[in-house]
Structure 1
Amino acid sequence: MCRCFAADFDWNVIAARFDVDEDDIDPAALPAPSYNLQPKHGIGIVAQGRDGKRHLAGAYWSLIPAWSADKELPYPTYNARIESARDKPTFAASAKSMRAIIPASGYYEYRGRRPYYFHAPDDAPLMLAGLFSWWRAPQGSTPWLLTATILTCQAVDGPATVHDRMPLLVPHDMADAWLDRSIDGASLMTDMRAGGTEMSRSLAFHEVAAFGPEDDGRTLIRPLPQIHTPSLF
């Protein structure tokens, strides 16, 4: 699972990486640098619109399907399992043709109550696989809300020593297909799962100090000092 991540980078660099035109960036809706992005708050996503162009936009982190009568669902939707997203009514439409990439500096997983921070060895941005949906209250009195979820998969190797699930990474050679709304997601899921899992094997990670929902800043990802018990002999 992934219920907290960090995003601290130049959004223009992310836009350039995915060939997003300047006119298709919504800077006011993108989150400020943060090391404590939580569900039901704003995150940044890259996605293709119905106009066929790629957009970099702010989104509400917890997917709300278009058919939902309420913004609050009775179950969490900030994560979706890659193994079942195509079959779950909440995520099925998004898995088919509304896929996104969610840039992250790194993410946290918990072993019990102990948080660990995962990141690329060279600290390059991670590209998390996601789904998106547009939602508006049935009365139509509120603006359309862009919502998103992060896909997860079975953890392997190092990540599996901390938690049994992990965010699915988007392989560089699959990013174009993943964002292409004309491609049915059913044909992508198997390859995405295999390629993303393989990428996660090389992630670096370390334990960090426990933190609360209001805490933020680079100090959150500082490695927790290891306490060594001296030998008595």
Structure 2
Amino acid sequence: MCGRFVLFTTGDSLLEAAEEAVGRPVTAPQGTPGPRYNLAPTQIVPIVRPAEEMLLEPARWGLFPHWKKDDSGPPLFNARGETVAEKPSFRDAFKGQRCVIPMDGYYEWHKKKPHFVSLGDEVMWAAGLWSTGLDQLSTTIVTTESIEPIAWLHNRLPRFLEHDEIEQWLFGPADAAKEMLHPVSKEWVEKLSIREVSSDVGNVRNDHAGLLD
């Protein structure tokens, strides 16, 4: 699963990273977010999605399907790749409302200790879905089974997209997106850095760079 993540790349640097990833100009009509070090479900996170142009926009982390009547129930912040194309909560968004979610890293707990997972200095791009249920832009992160050499940390893994996969995820038909519902490559995972960090991550009110120490 992915229940906390970090995004400290901001401003023009974030837009440049997005444009490099999607291979198109990206605009941020509402601006870019400030640095965050402990993003949690139901908070606002940035997503990049196709519209008349490529947009970087703020979205609630926890999908509101178009048929949702209220905000009751647990937040749908992860969508299992094994069922995302068929599950009622996600299937409509999967057909044509796919996005990517930028991260500088994410947290995972192992034996009650938080660990920070990153790709060095590179922004990582997680496969996501978006919706506008309850008249609010919202999003969820697609996950898959974990693979070696990171499987010891958790049995689930965000479906991170390599740059040559982003086009297919964002713009391909649903059948093409279904072909991507498998873990990211072992070669990509082998580049990840994993280290134990401050237990203060456990409190969502803590949101500062010292959490990475």
Q: Provide TM-score, normalisation by structure 2.
A: 0.89
Instruction: Confirm whether residue 12 of structure 1 aligns to residue 10 of structure 2.
Output: no
Once the two structures are TM-superposed, the CA of residue 12 in structure 1 deviates from its matched residue by 2.5
Once the two structures are TM-superposed, the CA of residue 203 in structure 1 deviates from its matched residue by 1.0
Q: How does 1:1-233 map to 2 (within 5 A)?
A: 1-9=1-9, 10-17=13-20, 18-19=22-23, 21=25, 24-28=27-31, 30-49=32-51, 51=52, 53-72=53-72, 74-120=73-119, 122-136=120-134, 144-180=135-171, 183-196=172-185, 198-211=187-200, 212-222=203-213
Larger radius of gyration: 1
Question: How many Å separate the matches in 1 of 2:186 and 2:128?
Answer: 15
SS of the aligned residue for 2:161 comes to: coil
Kindly report the root-mean-square deviation, in angstroms, between the aligned alpha carbons of the 2 structures.
1.8
Contact 1:170 1:195 in 2 (8 A): yes
Aligned-partner residue type, residue 59 of structure 1: A
Question: How many Å separate the matches in 1 of 2:63 and 2:153?
Answer: 26
Aligned-partner residue type, residue 48 of structure 1: P
Once the two structures are TM-superposed, the CA of residue 75 in structure 1 deviates from its matched residue by 3.2
Query: What is the count of residue pairs matched by the alignment?
Result: 207
Q: Provide TM-score, normalisation by structure 1.
A: 0.82
Contact 2:107 2:117 in 1 (8 A): yes
Question: How many Å separate the matches in 1 of 2:187 and 2:59?
Answer: 28
Question: How many Å separate the matches in 1 of 2:185 and 2:54?
Answer: 22
